[in-house]
């Protein structure tokens, strides 16, 4: 996990961008109700955690560049003996200073009395308007109070999108962040192997999903997103998470799953035969997707355009589908007409970090962004042929394949974070054969 110095470096980097006439306000994520008086397990807002490392709800971070009494202020819950007897110990304002580097910390209940005064003399407020409507109203009330009472020193306060500024900072991962991402990938690889060894004809998708969770929980971690465990035709539904069907002999199983380690996510997909052996059609399509992934990964280097990998996947998949007789016509014409779209509906990848689909622009000034060292992304081509797809021979029906890996851009190429999980048909069949002997 990044240490206190790294969180301090991030805050200072943000304050340099803000300037001395500004203030930043960022609330923690609210708790989310599951039912009546039951709440979902708490997960901190990614931007809030990125700047503070503070893990609890009911907190607000304020950054005030140049403030003589300290630039980093944290409002958080005060001690409450009764609630702590039910919910466990809290981080108090004293703990916020001692353990999380706050220059000043105050009880969250005093925020309405203290925070408006901290806005005095500041022209710009960096705040993510629209994310938490209830908190938006409080911020606007504070600004309105200053304006009505002439305490702000200015007729108006400009609200600047804090999340837009942070997304560019978060796009470049530090060494500490890369260690977290690598560890998340390593544990996720072990979970995929466990699921691969467990899967058999007759077992339920949710049983396989339980094996993934067992491996995550064995390391004290949670899933970064609901696991996709789709057998047969279910693999053709891109975000299939019901996981309620029985695995059938002769079908493929697509698993898309990853854990979260210290707030950093892995996102890995593999597709393999439930009975341990690819059929001829399954292997042919699988090798088509594998060739597309390898071609895409070969494009990754600093200076390459974000879309280069996707363009390579589109061409390679289209060529493969043409070679198999699933598409007919000149490949360049098929690409231009997007004839591949019924079989490959999504992009080739996305940024990866504290969020599975992490923040960061894909285009800059109308052009595809260039890759730079420190960026982390997924590469995930796929082919999906549901039953009844018009113009496709039924021997290809109900085959859904996705191969996804996590990669970090380095100074001279890339670092394969999710290395170690079988990818080729032979590697997969050999791995499954070993598990059946055991």
Tens digit of pLDDT for each residue in 324-364? 999 999 999 999 999 999 999 999 999 999 999 999 999 99
Same domain, 391 and 268: yes
So what's the pLDDT on residue 274?
A: 98
Mean pLDDT of 120-141: 92
Q: Which of 11, 170, 263, 402 is catalytic?
A: 402
The arithmetic mean of pLDDT across residues 52-65, rounded, is: 98
pLDDT band at 2 (very low <50, low <70, confident <90, very high): confident
Token look-up 């341990």 returns: 276
Catalytic residue (choose from 47, 211, 260, 267): 267
9 catalytic residue (yes or no): no
Known catalytic membership, residue 346: yes
Instruction: Tell me which of 131, 152, 170 is where a domain ends.
Output: 170
**Residue 37 annotated in active site:** yes
Together in a domain, 182 and 131: no
- The mean pLDDT of 63-85, rounded to a whole number, is 95
Question: Of 104, 380, 405, 406, which one is the catalytic site residue?
Answer: 380
140-144, 149-153, 170-174: range with lowest mean pLDDT: 149-153
Co-location of 65 and 126 in the same domain: yes
The boundaries of the domain holding residue 387 are 175-437
Residues 149 and 183 in one domain: no
pLDDT digits over 353-387, tens only? 999 999 999 999 999 999 999 999 999 999 999 99
- Are 157 and 84 in the same domain? yes
pLDDT tops 50 at residue 272: yes
Query: Residues 90, 194, 346, 369: which is the catalytic one?
Result: 346
pLDDT exceeds 60 at position 154: no
pTM: 0.95
Contacts of 267 by beta carbon, 8 Å cutoff, 6+ apart = 224, 225, 256, 258, 352, 356, 378, 380, 404, 406
Residues 149 and 186 placed together within one structural domain of the fold? no
Q: Are residues 195 and 110 in the same domain?
A: no
Instruction: Note whether 375 and 421 are same-domain residues.
Output: yes
Which of 139, 170, 201 finishes a domain? Answer: 170
The confidence score (pLDDT) of residue 121 equals 86
What lies within 8 Å, CB to CB, of 431 at 6+ separation is 193, 196, 197, 422
pLDDT of residue 151: 56
Average the pLDDT over 159-168 and give the result: 94
158 is catalytic: no
Residue 267 is a catalytic residue: yes
For the question of residue 58 being annotated catalytic, the response is no
Find the catalytic residue in 239, 246, 345, 367. 239
Query: What pLDDT does residue 150 have?
Result: 62
Give yes or no: 219 in active site.
Answer: no
Domain final residue, candidates 170, 185, 208: 170
- One domain for residues 44 and 64: yes
Catalytic residue among 203, 315, 350, 369: 350
Residues 126 and 149 in one domain: yes
Q: Is 323 a catalytic site residue?
A: no
> Is 192 designated active site?
no
Domains of the chain: total: 2
Instruction: Summarize the confidence of residues 43-55 as an average pLDDT.
Output: 98
| Shared-domain flag, residues 270 and 370 | yes
Catalytic residue among 71, 205, 404, 405: 404
Q: In percent, how much of the chain has pLDDT > 70? A: 97
Mean pLDDT, the chain, rounded, equals 95
pLDDT for res 155 = 46
Q: Which pLDDT belongs to residue 120?
A: 87
pLDDT band at 323, cuts 50/70/90? very high
Q: Are residues 239 and 162 in the same domain?
A: no
CATH code for position 187:
3.90.230.10
Q: Is 256 marked active-site?
A: yes
CATH number at residue 129: 3.40.350.10
Identified catalytic residue from 83, 144, 345, 357: 357
Catalytic residue among 71, 256, 358, 406: 256
pLDDT band for position 437 (cuts 50, 70, 90): low
Question: pLDDT tens digits for 404-425?
Answer: 999 999 999 999 999 999 999 9
Q: Per-residue confidence at 145, pLDDT binned at 50, 70, 90?
A: confident
**239 among known catalytic residues:** yes
User: Which entry of 192, 384, 405, 414 is annotated as an active-site residue?
Assistant: 384
Tell me the mean pLDDT in the region 216-236.
98
């Amino acid at each position: 996990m990044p240490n206190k110095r790294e969180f301090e470096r991030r805050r200072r980097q943000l304050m340099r961008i803000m300037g001395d006439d500004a203030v930043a306000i960022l609330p923690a994520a609210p708790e989310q109700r599951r039912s009546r008086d039951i709440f979902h397990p708490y997960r901190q807002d990614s931007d809030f955690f990125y700047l503070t490392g503070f893990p609890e709800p009911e907190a607000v971070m304020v950054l005030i560049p140049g403030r003589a009494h300290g630039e980093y202020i944290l409002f958080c819950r005060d001690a409450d003996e009764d609630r702590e007897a039910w919910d466990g110990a809290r981080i108090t304002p004293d703990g916020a200073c001692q353990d999380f580097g706050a220059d000043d910390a105050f009880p969250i209940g005093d925020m309405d009395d203290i925070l408006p005064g901290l806005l005095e003399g500041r022209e710009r407020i960096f705040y993510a308007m629209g994310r938490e409507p209830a908190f938006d109203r409080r911020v606007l009330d504070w600004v309105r109070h200053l304006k009505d009472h002439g305490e702000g020193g200015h007729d108006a306060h400009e609200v600047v999108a804090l999340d837009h500024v942070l997304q560019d900072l978060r796009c470049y991962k530090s060494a500490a962040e890369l260690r977290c991402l690598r560890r998340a990938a390593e544990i996720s690889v072990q979970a995929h192997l466990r699921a691969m060894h467990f899967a058999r004809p007759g077992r339920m998708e949710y049983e396989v999903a339980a094996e993934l969770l067992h491996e995550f929980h064995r390391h004290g971690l949670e899933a970064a997103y609901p696991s996709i465990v789709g057998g047969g035709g279910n693999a053709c539904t891109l975000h299939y998470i019901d996981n309620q069907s029985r695995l059938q002999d002769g079908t493929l199983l697509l698993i898309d799953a990853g854990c979260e380690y210290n707030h950093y996510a892995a996102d890995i997909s593999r597709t393999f035969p439930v009975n341990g052996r690819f059929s001829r059609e399954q292997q042919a399509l699988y090798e088509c997707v594998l060739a597309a992934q390898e071609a895409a990964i070969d494009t990754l280097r600093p200076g390459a355009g974000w879309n280069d990998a996707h363009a390579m996947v589109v061409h390679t998949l289209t060529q493969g589908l043409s070679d198999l007789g699933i598409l007919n016509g000149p490949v360049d014409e098929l690409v231009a007409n997007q004839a591949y779209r019924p079989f490959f509906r999504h992009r080739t990848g996305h940024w990866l970090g504290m969020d599975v689909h992490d923040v960061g622009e894909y285009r800059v000034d109308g052009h595809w962004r260039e890759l730079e060292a420190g960026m982390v992304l997924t590469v995930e081509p796929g082919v999906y042929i549901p039953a009844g797809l018009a113009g496709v021979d039924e021997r290809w029906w109900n085959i859904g394949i996705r191969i996804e890996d996590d990669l970090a851009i380095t100074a001279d190429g890339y670092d394969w974070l999710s290395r170690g999980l079988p990818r080729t048909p032979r590697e997969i069949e050999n791995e499954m054969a070993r598990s059946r002997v055991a």
